[in-house]
Amino acid sequence: MKSWMKSAALASLCLLPAFAMAAGAIDGEVKKQATNWTAIIMFLLFVSGTLYITYWAARRTQSASDFYTGGGGITGFQNGLAIAGDYMSAASFLGISAMVFEKGYDGLIYSMGFLVGWPIILFLVAERLRNLGKFTFADVASYRLQQTPVRTFAATGTLVVVALYLIAQMVGAGKLIQLLFGLDYSTAVILVGVLMVMYVMFGGMLATTWVQIIKAVILLSGASFMAFMVMASVGFSPEALFQKATEVHAKGVAIMSPGKADPIDSISLGLALMFGTAGLPHILMRFFTVSNAKEARKSVFYATGFIGYFYILTFIIGFGAIVLVLNQPAFMETIVKDGKQVTQLLGGNNMAAIHLSHAVGGDLFYGFISAVAFATILAVVAGLTLSGASAVSHDLYASVIKKGKANEKDEMRVSKLTTLALGVIAIVLGLVFEKQNIAFMVGLAFSIAASANFPVLFLSMFWKGLTTRGAVIGGAIGLVSAVVMIILGPAVWVDVMGHAKGSAPFPYKNPALFSMSLAFFFTWLFSVLDTSKSAAEEKAKFDAQFVRSMTGIGASGASKH
Amino acid sequence: MNEDILKRVQANPKFAELVQKRSSLGWLLSIVMLAIYYGFILVLAFSPATLGASLSGGVTTVGIPVGIFIIVSAFVLTGIYVRKANTEFDQLNQQIVEEAKK
C-alpha cells in the first residue's frame, strides 16, 4: 500500500494527463495491493460484531411479531437512525457521490429528490400508517378491503420493488469487494447473499435494525471525516473547492450548473423520488417497529435530519473526489469499451468515494470506509430481504393462502424459507446485472413504488370511496405501466437492449409522471364504477378506520417480552 | 373498536377539532414542501441558467445555496410538525381517547 501512496503523491506533483498512463501496469499493481489487511480486519470486525448481534437477537426472536417488528419496542430515535441506515444505501453513498463526481451539480439535484419525500411521509402517512398497520403496509391497504386480492397485489408490488433495489445493492457490493479484496465479482456477490440471509433468517427485525443503526453511525462518522478532510484541504472555503474542481474536471465550469434536462423527465423523476419513498415496502415496514404514532413521528424527524446531513456530505465528497482523485494515476485505469480505449476511475465511477477515502486518510481510513460501504450494503439488503420475506409469509401465506388462520410456527418457517430463496435470487440477479449504473437502478425501483404501492396506500387512508376493485385494477395498471414504460424507454430499450439511440418507443427515462397518473385515475374510475354490495360495505367501514387512524384507538402496541 | 367508542369519538367536538387542526397543518406543510421542491424543478426545467448564474463573481453558482436551502427546509418543516403534534395534538388526542373510554 505504501507504494500506492507514493505513486499518488508523485502523480499529484506532475498531474499527468490521464491518457498517458500505462493501463496494464496500474491495473495489475492495484489488484495485488488490493489485499489490504486493514480493510479485511475492519470488515471482519464488523461482520463478527453483527453476527454476535444476530445471535443475541435470535434468542429474542420467538414470535412472528418479533420477527417482523423486533417486538415493536424500538424508540423513535433508534428507528430514525435505522431508517436513515435503510435509506443511505450503497446507491446513495457510492452512486450519488459518483454522480457528483461525474456531473457535479446534477448529483445534488438527485439527492434533493430523495430527501423531500420524507416531510410528505411525516405530514400525511406516518401516523396513520402506524395506527392502522401491524407488520406490513399491506395491513393498511387491505384494512377495510378484501384481503386476498389486495394483499396479493401489495405483495407483488413489494417483491418487484425489493428485487430491483436488491439488484442495485448486490452490484454495488460485488464491485466494492472486487476492488477491496481482489476477489471475483461472483464470489463477492455470493458472500453478501450468504451474510444477509444469516442476519435476517436468524435475527429477524431486531438484528436487522441494529445492523442498520450501527451502519448508520459508522457511515455518518466516516463521511463526516471525509468531508472535513476535503474542506480542510481547501482551507474550508467552498469557493476554493469549486474553483479547483472546475479546473481539473473535463466539463469545466459546467459542473457548477444543472445540466440539460428534459422538463417532463425532471418532473417525472421528482415525482418518483418523492412519492416512491412513501411506497418503499422496507421503509414503510420500519414504522411498525415503534410503539406508537408519537414515536413514528419522531423517527421521521430524526431520519430527515440524518439523511439531509448525509446528502450534504456526499456533495462535498463528490467534489472532493474531483479535486483529490480525478486524474491521479494511482486511481485511474484504462479499459476497452465498445472497441475504444476509455480512461476511467479504477473500478468505475461508483468507486469515487472509496478512492477519496484513501487520498484523505491513507490505508487505515481506506480500510475503514471500505468496511463501512460494505456494511452499508449488508444492512440495506438485510432490510430489503426482511421486507420481501414478510410480504410472502405474512401477506401471501398467512393471509391469502391460510386466510388468516396460519399457525405462527408455520408462518415463521415460511418467512425463513423465503429469506433463503430471496438470498439465492439476489445472488443470481446480482450476477446478471453486473454492468448497470447502480444509482439508476434504484430510480427504477422508486418509479414502481410511486406508481403501484403509493397510490393504493394513500387512497386507502384518505379516500372513503376506494374499493377493492379500484385498488387492485388501478394499482396493477400503475405497476404494469411503470414496468412497460421503463422497458420501452431509453434506459432499457437503448442502454440494455442495445437499440439505436433515440429509437425508444417511450421517450422518457422516468415514467412516474404518467404511470402514477394512470394509477390514480384508474383506481378512482374503477372504485366509482364499483356498485357491488361489497363495495358499499367497504365504504361503510371507512369511518371506523378513520377514527383509528387519527386517534390510535385499537392500534397494535408493542408486544411484551 | 366497538360501536359505542366509535360513536362517542365521532360525537366528541374535540375529535373534529383534532382532525381539522392536524389535517390542515399536514396539508399546509405538504404544500409548502411541494411548492419549494417543484418550484425548484420548474426553474431547473425552464430556466436552468438562473441556477447556473454566478453567486458573487466566483465559480460558486446560485444553485448551491438554493440546494442547501431545500435540504435544510425539509428538516425544518418536519421539526415544525413534530413539535406541534407532540404537544398540542397529542394532548387533544389523549383527552379524546380518555373521554371515549368513560
Q: What are the backbone dihedrals phi and psi of residue A554, each rounded to the nearest 5 degrees, phi first? A: 90, -5
Contact B1 A544 (CB under 8 A): yes
| CB contact B96 to A (< 8 Å) | yes
Q: Is A158 left (phi over 0), alpha (psi -120 to 50) or beta?
A: alpha
Q: Which residues of chain A have pLDDT under 70?
A: 1-36, 91, 181, 337, 436-440, 557-561
**Given CB atoms, is B89 within the 8 Å cutoff of chain A?**
no
Q: Looking only at Cα atoms, what is the longest distance across chain A?
A: 79
Q: What pLDDT sits at residue A439? A: 54
User: B102 CA to chain A: closest CA distance, Å?
Assistant: 14
Residue of A nearest to B1 (CA): A554
B59 and A267 in contact by Cβ < 8 A?
Answer: no
Cross-chain residue pair B67–A261, CB shorter than 8 Å: no
For residues B50 and A105, give the distance between their C-alpha atoms in angstroms, rounded to a whole number: 13
Geometric angle at alpha carbon A535, from A529 and A541, rounded to 5°: 135
A267 vs B5, B45, B60: nearest CB: B45
**How far does the CA of residue B71 sit from the closest CA of chain A (Å)?**
6
Q: Give which of A111, A120, A143, A546 to mutate to test B binding, by max B Cβ within 10 Å.
A: A120
Rounded to two decimals, the ipTM of the complex is: 0.94
User: How many angstroms separate the CA of residue A553 from the nearest CA in chain B?
Assistant: 7
The residues that bridge with B54 in the sheet, in sequence order, are B61
Of A113, A239, A301, Cβ closest to residue B59: A239
| Separation CA A216–CA A87 (nearest Å) | 9
The pLDDT value given to residue A22: 26
Q: Quote the cell numbers at residue A11.
A: 502523480
β-pair partners for A290:
A74
DSSP A449-492: IIIIIHHHHHHHHH-TT--HHHHHHHHHHHHHHHHHHHHHSHHH
Spatial distance between the Cα atoms of A194 and A522, rounded to a whole number of angstroms: 41
Give the pLDDT score at A557.
64
Chain A residues in contact with B38 by the CB 8 A cut-off are: 267, 270
Backbone angles phi, psi at A50, to 5 degrees: -70, -30
Residue A524 in grid coordinates: 378512482
**How far A254 CA lies from chain B's nearest CA (Å)?**
8
Task: Report chain B residues whose CB lies below 8 A from the CB of A308.
Answer: 71-72, 74-75
A554 closest CA partner among A158, A141, A134: A134
pTM of the model: 0.88
- pLDDT number for residue A30: 35
CA atoms within 13 A on the CB side of A287: 31
Cell numbers that stand for A315 in this block:
456533495
Which residue of B lies nearest to A114 if distances are taken between CA atoms?
A: B71
Query: Is A551–B97 a contact, with Cβ atoms under 8 angstroms apart?
Result: yes
Chain A residues lying within 8 Å of B40, measured CB to CB? 112
| Closest-CA distance of chain A to residue B44, Å | 7
How far apart, in whole angstroms, are the C-alpha atoms of residue A181 and residue A36?
7
Residue of A nearest to B14 (CA): A551
User: Would you state the pLDDT for residue A437?
Assistant: 57
Q: Is the CB of B85 less than 8 angstroms away from the CB of A260?
A: no
Chain B positions touching A315 (Cβ under 8 A) are 67
pLDDT score of B63 more than 50 = yes
Please answer whether residues A189 and A173 qualify as being in contact, where contact means their C-beta atoms are separated by less than 8 angstroms: yes
List all residues 6 or more positions away from A512 whose beta carbon is below 8 Å from its beta carbon: A268, A269, A271, A272, A275, A276, A446, A447, A450, A451, A482
Residue in A123, A246, A256 nearest the CB of B30 = A123
Mutate to test the interface with B, among A144, A301, A313, A314 (most CBs of B within 10 A): A301
Distances (CA, A) of A211 to A72, A218, A384, A519: 17, 11, 13, 36
For the beta carbon of residue B90, count every other beta carbon within 10 angstroms: 17
Q: Is B63 helix (H, G, I), strand (E, B) or coil?
A: helix
**pLDDT level of residue B36 (50, 70, 90 thresholds):** very high
Residues of B in contact with A118 (CB under 8 A): 74, 78
Residue A555's pLDDT is what? 81
Question: How many A-B residue pairs are in contact by the CB < 8 A criterion?
Answer: 158
Q: Judged by CB atoms within 8 Å, which residues 9-68 of B form the interface with A?
A: 9-10, 15, 18-19, 22, 25-27, 29-30, 33-34, 36-38, 40-42, 44-46, 48-49, 51-52, 58-61, 63-64, 67-68
pLDDT digits (tens, 9 = 90+) for A258-267: 987 788 888 8
Distance CA A47, CA A27 (A): 29
Q: Check residue A438 and give its pLDDT.
A: 55
Is B48 within 8 Å of A257 when comparing Cβ atoms?
yes
Determine the distance in angstroms separating the CA of B51 from the nearest CA of chain A, rounded to an integer: 6
3-state secondary structure string, A239-273?
A: HHHHHHHHHHCCCHHHHHCCCCCCHHHHHHHHHHH
Q: What is the pLDDT of residue B46?
A: 85
